[in-house]
Amino acid sequence: GDSVTQMEGPVTLSEEAFLTINCTYTATGYPSLFWYVQYPGEGLQLLLKATKADDKGSNKGFEATYRKETTSFHLEKGSVQVSDSAVYFCALSDQGYSTLTFGKGTMLLVSP
């Protein structure tokens, strides 16, 4: 079945540091890939998405490129802020369904 693997957290960074959160996936078909973010006490917000190989999703300074050859969708940001502290989820939808399969989530903590 489909699965998503994310790096374990928490990831602890200082403000303005470079961020990478690794995400790899296993899927049967040609999935769409997503990053969602969850702030404390809230639901999930869509951060970015990519629907085909080599697509780059971007939003609010975050980027991720759909790499079919390595089955990866790593999240990056050049300079993190304290307000980026949250839990980040990598997810996919596959086989004609919009249903999402999620990774376990990676907590990011950014200190001033």
Partner 1 sequence: KAGVTQTPRYLIKTRGQQVTLSCSPISGHRSVSWYQQTPGQGLQFLFEYFSETQRNKGNFPGRFSGRQFSNSRSEMNVSTLELGDSALYLCASSLSVGSTLETQYFGPGTRLLVL
Q: By CB under 8 A, name the binding residues for partner 1.
A: 29-32, 34, 36, 42-46, 49, 51, 89, 91, 93-105
39, 90, 95, 110 from 24: Cα distances, Å? 23, 9, 18, 24
Cβ closer to partner 1: 14 or 60?
60
d(CA 37, CA 28): 25
Q: How far is the CB of 31 from partner 1 (least distance, A)?
A: 6
Q: Give, in order, the Cα–Cα distances in Å from 11 to each of 14, 20, 104.
A: 10, 9, 14
Nearer to partner 1, 29 or 78 (CB): 29
Comparing CB distances to partner 1, the nearer of 62 and 105 is 105
